[in-house]
Structure 1
Amino acid sequence: MTINKLGIPGFAVVVTQGDKTILAEGYGYADFENQLIANSNTNYYIASATKSFTALLAVIMDDEGVLKLDDPLQKYFPDLKIDSNLDLANIKVRDLLTHTSGLENGPIGWRVAFSGEYDQSTLLELMKYTKPNEAGYGNYEYTNIGYNIYAIILEKITGKSWQNWMQVKIFDPMGMNHTTAFISRAEKENWLLARPYMVIDSVSRMTLEKKDNTMQSAGGLIITPDDMAKWLKIQVGKGKLNGKQIFPENMIIYSQQELVNIPESERLFKPTHYGFGWLHGEYETHKVIHHFGGFAGFSTHVSFMPDKQIGIAVMVNEALAGDKLMHLTATFIYDYLLEKKEWNDYDETINAFAEKLSEGRKMISAGIIKRNDLPWLLTMPFSEYSGTYQSDEYGILTIQESTSGLKVAAGNLQCVSTPFKNEDSIRVELIPGSGQVIEFHKENNKISGLKYDGIYFTKIN
């Protein structure tokens, strides 16, 4: 069995064809510590696969005249000045959703996806840190910020969050009764949540888990296999579900358009275009519309083949195997339904993947041991580094002494640091699996601040 061979807690698979659900099931464990078995009603976090939902919401809002896709950003941020080469009068709302706005804003991205330190007024204030990205206006550069800014505008003009609009305009009409952008709702109603894991020497729960304040419009939904089947049927059925037209056919067709060319890619399906929250590529000469998602401990594949009316989703709650496993599973299902391969071919491929995965885990384990054996090169007692550090853009970062090192926290994020090879520096993984270095700065033989991922934080106490 795939789960046993790869040594992962579990995953979910959804397969639809036309208006029929062929498979919608969870396998293995949703919650490994408590031995809670995954099933068709287990909620998985889908990360950036959220974008196609948010984009459909934007199409609905445009159709209803609430927030027009062709409105210029200047209409909503009349006093915002970004750069002499970027005119908000030229950048349209639709550009935010197709990754062609030419904008970036690290502070907003950090707060809404990771630290959770914000409210609507904070986000509006942080808009002043928006700047041009490297691609420039009109050119594709994949990012979360366009979807984040869309949500900021929507709440600014309606007084209602994107999460609440999503519930009213998409989930309720579709009968997606176990899909939400609120972790608190799932916990209050005792939904079975898939928890994020990383398997190296053993199964370990990830320290970073989503909360309401980091469920953001570019990556902020949890969904069950049963509800994902409904979403896929809506896409291949052009708005129809169980014989009922939920959304106008022309609205779904509009949302599935190829809108912008994207750079040549070797990713699965070799996408050539992006539209409203969907990538457009090809598999075995068949067009495939798709979007993937990844976050600490979660990987999601969502795709459909319009001409064959096949929809496939794979959701994995393990960090190291997830990306490869979801694509292997999806392509083999396509091959099987297209009568190109048998399931024994899948077994052979999984066996080969399991060997490589085992080798990779051994390398990671060896790296952890090596890092932990490094000596501390801090020139002062731990207590001198403890305190609160602040960045106007990125918020608060705190450091406290602990028995095994310095404990570092930034909003929802926290970890215990390990030694680093440079003087007055430590290594942290505030985002699990993504190591960063904190460099401490001194003035008059006292710690005055630190630099984390190139961002300077001033020590305030």
Structure 2
Amino acid sequence: MDALTHTPTPSPTPDRRRAPRGRIALAATTAAVLVAGALAFGAAARTTAADPVESALEQRLQSLVDAGYPAALASVTRPDGTSIEVSAGDGDLSSDRKTPADAEVRIGSNTKMFVATVVMQLVEEGAVSLDEPIETYLPGVVAGDGIDGAAITVRDLLRQTSGLPESSEVVATDPFGMQDVYISGRDLLDIALAQPASFASGERWEYSNTNYILLGLLIERVAQRPLWEQIDERIVEPLRLEHTYLPVPGERELRGAHVEGYHADFPGELREITDMDPAFGWAAGAVVSTPTELNRFMQALFGGELVSAESVALMQDTVAADDPFHPDLGYGLGVQSYSLECGMVWGHGGDIPGTQTRNAVAPDGTAVTIAVTALPWAIADPADEAVLLPKYEVVMDVLDETLCDS
């Protein structure tokens, strides 16, 4: 998940600023996905092994393993709902277990798309207003040095223009130390609010996981139900997803077939970190899914299955993201836009200790998710940009090539 780990690196740092293509998470315009037609529910059928897309993807995933990632897995889901699922590398370094295709992984900041979807559903129901201050829904909760809950709107939170400081700068500096630690969403917010505001609300854009921790609290207050249940009832069940969930409080093990995730205190010294309490990410980055199910979710979201076309258009109303590497990067209401070789794409993407995911939907409705089982700075020295940045680039290159060739 973005900014959920802190590693001392040259500016812009990979965890806060995401090095080239690191802050990218992608998918397709609403119109393009709607034209693509209806998608099949449930587990998508695999194509034959002779498919040239699958052969090319196998080679690309092997290049990620060759680059130092323990394992890589990917899914290409076409507009008709059929999927190609490919994996490479070792699913478990201690046993050389092969990587299962379409395994469960922690999808980090892709969680923000799920949370934003629930918020937009509440907006459609009249329970939440985008331009209402957060003070209306959580009175007396959002206050601090330069922080005024009456001046921060729900739209500001969704679009990352609130100026709220980053809680993960404090709680996620030691992933192994936090591996078995539970921390509540309210405690995460209080940690953030103990710091001064980064800027006045609405003044500019800056990525902060705190925005989505606060949105999780908003959902729970308005719905009067836990966030995990709202995601399950509003997204997972309607789409018939079987391996997508927000872990319940205290849940540390992945529920289904999965790959092991790895992190490192020192680059290259990989240690398993699969079983962990992801509470430090919660509404900003704790969701679990598979590549194919994440594709299905993105296609459903941008295709108007989860919210109305009008709501999708609001989500795609972006502000310029202050990213020196990608001047055309736009951030909407929980989704990002970015140009690849085959055109503008939409989605999100995420980093969390043990997994990096990059995902997108192309203009024709084809969705691709790529996952690797370590973060770049676990396999490369974060102080050496010449080594580190290509580790980011290679994952995005595989996404770009696969999406645009499919």
User: Do 2:341 and 2:400's aligned partners in 1 also have CA atoms closer than 8 Å?
Assistant: no
User: Do 1:113 and 1:216's aligned partners in 2 also have CA atoms closer than 8 Å?
Assistant: no
- What SS is found at the alignment partner of 2:90? strand
User: Do 1:274 and 1:280's aligned partners in 2 also have CA atoms closer than 8 Å?
Assistant: yes
Stretch of structure 1 that moved more, 64-73 or 84-93: 84-93
What is the aligned partner in structure 2 of residue 330 from structure 1? 399
- What SS is found at the alignment partner of 2:370? strand
The reply on whether 1:37 has 2:102 as its aligned counterpart is no
Residue 197 and residue 118 in structure 1: after superposition, are their counterparts in 2 closer, same or farther (change >3 A)? Answer: closer
Distance 1:136 1:159 in 2: 27
The reply on whether 1:272 has 2:309 as its aligned counterpart is no
Residue type matched to 1:329 in 2?
V
User: Do 1:16 and 1:310's aligned partners in 2 also have CA atoms closer than 8 Å?
Assistant: yes
What's the offset of the Cα at 1:109? 6.4
Stretch of structure 1 that moved more, 283-292 or 293-302: 283-292
What's the offset of the Cα at 1:232? 3.4
Residue type matched to 2:312 in 1?
I
The reply on whether 1:106 has 2:167 as its aligned counterpart is yes
Residue in structure 2 matching 1:162, options 227, 248, 255: 227
Distance 1:177 1:4 in 2: 28
The reply on whether 1:18 has 2:18 as its aligned counterpart is no
What is the aligned partner in structure 1 of residue 69 from structure 2? 8
What's the offset of the Cα at 1:43? 0.9
The Cα RMSD (Å) is 3.4
Residue 319 and residue 189 in structure 1: after superposition, are their counterparts in 2 closer, same or farther (change >3 A)? Answer: closer
What is the aligned partner in structure 1 of residue 368 from structure 2? 312
Distance 2:266 2:147 in 1: 46
Stretch of structure 1 that moved more, 282-291 or 111-120: 111-120
What is the aligned partner in structure 1 of residue 215 from structure 2? 150
What is the CA deviation profile of residues 122-146 of structure 1, one whole-angstrom value per residue up to 9, with x for unaligned ones?
Answer: 4576575263214653310111110
- 1:311-390 maps to which residues of 2 (within 5 A)? 311-320=367-376, 323-337=392-406
User: Do 1:11 and 1:26's aligned partners in 2 also have CA atoms closer than 8 Å?
Assistant: yes
- 1:11-410 maps to which residues of 2 (within 5 A)? 11-79=72-140, 82=143, 87-104=148-165, 106=167, 110=171, 115=178, 116-119=181-184, 122=187, 129=194, 131-134=196-199, 136-182=201-247, 187=253, 189-197=255-263, 204-206=270-272, 210-235=276-301, 238-239=303-304, 246-250=305-309, 253-254=312-313, 256-263=315-322, 265-267=324-326, 270-284=327-341, 286-306=343-363, 308-320=364-376, 323-337=392-406
- What SS is found at the alignment partner of 2:349? strand
What is the CA deviation profile of residues 282-318 of structure 1, one whole-angstrom value per residue up to 9, with x for unaligned ones?
Answer: 1236112132312323211011223x22322111002
User: Do 1:288 and 1:303's aligned partners in 2 also have CA atoms closer than 8 Å?
Assistant: yes
User: Do 1:178 and 1:223's aligned partners in 2 also have CA atoms closer than 8 Å?
Assistant: yes
Structure (1/2) with the larger strand percentage: 1
Distance 2:139 2:173 in 1: 23
Greater gyration radius: 1
What's the offset of the Cα at 1:253? 2.3
Distance 2:66 2:83 in 1: 24
What is the aligned partner in structure 2 of residue 429 from structure 1? none
Distance 1:211 1:264 in 2: 31
User: Do 2:100 and 2:257's aligned partners in 1 also have CA atoms closer than 8 Å?
Assistant: no
Instruction: Give the share of equivalent positions with the same residue, in percent.
Output: 20
Distance 2:315 2:134 in 1: 23
What's the offset of the Cα at 1:100? 0.6
What's the offset of the Cα at 1:186? 8.0
Distance 1:113 1:64 in 2: 40
Residue type matched to 1:304 in 2?
V
Residue type matched to 1:325 in 2?
V
User: Do 2:294 and 2:369's aligned partners in 1 also have CA atoms closer than 8 Å?
Assistant: yes
What is the CA deviation profile of residues 364-399 of structure 1, one whole-angstrom value per residue up to 9, with x for unaligned ones?
Answer: xxxxxxxxxxxxxxxxxxxxxxxxxxxxxxxxxxxx
Residue type matched to 1:66 in 2?
A
User: Do 1:51 and 1:217's aligned partners in 2 also have CA atoms closer than 8 Å?
Assistant: yes
Q: TM-score, normalised by structure 1?
A: 0.62
Residue type matched to 2:104 in 1?
N
Residue type matched to 2:282 in 1?
Q
What's the offset of the Cα at 1:18? 1.7
Residue 2 and residue 144 in structure 1: after superposition, are their counterparts in 2 closer, same or farther (change >3 A)? Answer: same
User: Do 2:367 and 2:403's aligned partners in 1 also have CA atoms closer than 8 Å?
Assistant: no
What's the offset of the Cα at 1:73? 1.7
User: Do 1:113 and 1:215's aligned partners in 2 also have CA atoms closer than 8 Å?
Assistant: no
Q: TM-score, normalised by structure 2?
A: 0.69
Residue type matched to 1:336 in 2?
D
- 1:438-453 maps to which residues of 2 (within 5 A)? none
Which is bigger in relative contact order (C-alpha 8 A, separation at least 6)? Answer: 2
